[in-house]
Amino acid sequence: MNSFLKLAFSKTLSLHPAGCLLFLLALRCTLWSQTRIVNASIDTSKTGAPISKNIYGQFLEHGGDIVNTGVWSELLVDRKFFYAVAASAPTPPPVMGNAAGNPRSRRTPARWWAPIGGDVVTMDTKAPYTGTQTPLVKLNAKEPHGFSQSGIAVRKGKAYTGRIVVAGPPGAVVKVTLIWGKEAADRQTVTIGTLGAAYHKFPLRYTAAANTDDATLEITGTGAGSIHVGTVSLMPADNIEGFRPEVIAALKQMRFGVLRFPGGNFVSSYEWRYGVGEIDKRPPIFDPVWHAVQPNDVGTDEFLALCRLLGVDPYITVNAGFGDAWSARELVEYTNGAATTPMGKWRAENGHPEPYRVKLWGVGNEPWGDYQMGAISLPQFELKHNLFAKEMRKVDPSIKLIAGGAMPDVMEGADQARRINGQYVPGYLSAADWTGQMLLNCLDNIDMVSEHYYASGTQHTDMKLQKKVPIDPPLSFIEWQRAPAVQVRAKYEHYQEYLKRIPALRAKPVPVAIDEWAYFGGGPNSYKTVPAYAWAFHEMFRHSDVFQLGAFTFATAMMSSTRTEAILNPTGMLFKMYRDHFGAIPVEVSGDSPQPKPVFPAGGDQPAINPGSDTYPLDIAAAFSDDRKTLAIAVLNPSDAPATMNLTISGAKLAAHGTLWQMAPDKIDAVVAVGKKPEVEVAEKPVGSISGGIVVPPFSVNIYSYAIK
């Protein structure tokens, strides 16, 4: 009984017993209507195109520290000294396109290097170790001079390793101290007394004796003259090739197929050459897109190592904003070329003699947006895409090129069509239909088309007002859960229109890669959006010939994490459950209860037909395993009331007993978070026949699996 009914019952009971009886009768009718019986049928003789493992893919972008602290193990901020050592927080550079000094356009670092010993540190810009400046510390024979950084998270008994690159006079002594408490014993020091005029690298190692999120690393020197500190690094000793082991362990469980990198908007101003070579010599840069310093520690080789560690395929997006076709060609050569090629030789010198053989390549990110670095007109970008394709395929003809597309739903939703031809929702193949024009003019150089969406349950397109407006009254529980699948359905309908209008597309179908997608509004680590994501999966499965790749924004959103721990959250658990237990060959599902008509008129991001199987309020998808020896049946109940399902199977005989994997928490906003008792689980249960009378709990996601006799 929901809270409204409880309140009504208590008030009715307090008035009169007869009123209570009438209320109970009404309640019984209400609950009966909520637990309606749905009749569904699965015809295993009717199958669709295989479901790609890449549908479960993920996306990582160098947006702020999403990568640098989200998956990488480095504990220090600004380890290459982009900012000057200073007593107060440094002021970031002005943001491009905004008024200088606008505080909203500058993200002040929360941690920085502060001087020790007074005004003793200057920044040497004449001969920096890397980047544009290096700290120069003026020494004193009696008093330690240097700098420090606080806010470092360490754990008791855990080892930490690193290095420092320093140069100075032979008589100077440098001490690098990790401090985890206020007492004199709450520290360890590495002493370096063998300096020289040239830079040398010295190892660091510590074992913390307490838990704290505010440890400090101090770098000080004594003696005569001055020392240069080129760079410094500190990581947990158990890092895996530089990556956080707890993050690797969490994400590896998901087997999500493909990982997209390095952007996102970030890529449009990214110089990939800064991200390869000796890691300590890579220059730090200020990213004008996300207004943050990037140390360039995680570049191409590190990304490809991450893909290897996770067991997924890499998907690299090249810079088609400020970037050029020659640079894209050289990046393909760096990853895929033989060691005898110029870039392949560089790769080998960097420790990777064998080609990586990366197959998936995106040409730019959201080139249709006027906010994008290097944005140009659509006709110009068509020429640019074809030029990139020509140069990249010279190096490796086997690569698959993913074009930056935007169907009418995106051009409307981002309000980009209006600036091109005055249309709020662009007509198909009009000058503002970015995907349509790309398919018309670049089809020979497109293997997949990239599409993005970020679903909203609080706004919709008002076709009369030609703008987004708040949804009032709010969507019902079911319709709120439907929102991401609605966006998938809209893209499917747009694609069908392209097939009608572009004969060459029918001869050479180009699948869709939804390589950025998410639904905001569920709260961190909440179950609230899990049914919505399951529904989006089902809609992709139903059109598996069209949708063959996904990349969720972001891979880090699959986890609840602190600075030292990480576990899968409900969204990550859902992705893992489908990847592990759903099939790969979709089969037809029908029923006697069609989905209702869309809430809003068709157009732009509103499809003409609602997503979902004819099993309302349930949504059901089914698929064989690759070897057709197992049938998986995914049953989603996106409503806040239980439903009963009667199911018939034709074309195959199922074993009498199977297994159910189920996510069915007690409340929609249940959470799974580090340090808290999990409120969501993927329960594994033995089940008997699925033929009739199956009660499906409210807002639950269920996968039944049966062997084929």
- Count CB atoms within 10 A of the CB of residue 601: 13
Provide block-wise average pLDDT over 10 residues at a time, the chain (709 residues). 36 40 39 68 97 98 94 98 94 64 60 96 96 97 96 97 97 97 96 94 98 98 97 98 98 98 96 98 95 96 98 98 98 98 98 98 97 96 98 98 97 95 96 98 98 94 89 95 97 98 96 96 92 98 98 97 97 98 98 95 93 97 97 98 95 95 97 96 95 91 97
Q: How far is CA 598 from the centre of its chain?
A: 29
- Res 9: pLDDT: 35
How would you classify residue 364: left for phi > 0, otherwise alpha for psi between -120 and 50, otherwise beta?
left
pTM for this predicted structure: 0.92
**Secondary structure class of 665 (helix, strand, coil):** coil
DSSP 194-217: ---SS-EEEEEEEE-SS-EEEEEE
What is the structure's pLDDT at 10?
39
Write down the pLDDT at residue 25. 36
Residue 103's alpha-carbon distances to 106, 316, 663, 699, in angstroms, are 5, 33, 44, 43
pLDDT of residue 8: 37
The sign of the dihedral angle between the CA atoms of 142, 143, 147, 148 is: positive
Is residue 270 within 8 Å of residue 67, measured between CB atoms? no
Dmax (CA) for the chain in angstroms is: 97
Beta strands in 130-225 (DSSP E): 134-138, 145-154, 159-167, 173-179, 187-192, 200-207, 212-222
Nearest to 406 by CA among 384, 431, 388: 431
pLDDT at 269: 96
Alpha-carbon span 191 to 175, nearest angstrom? 5
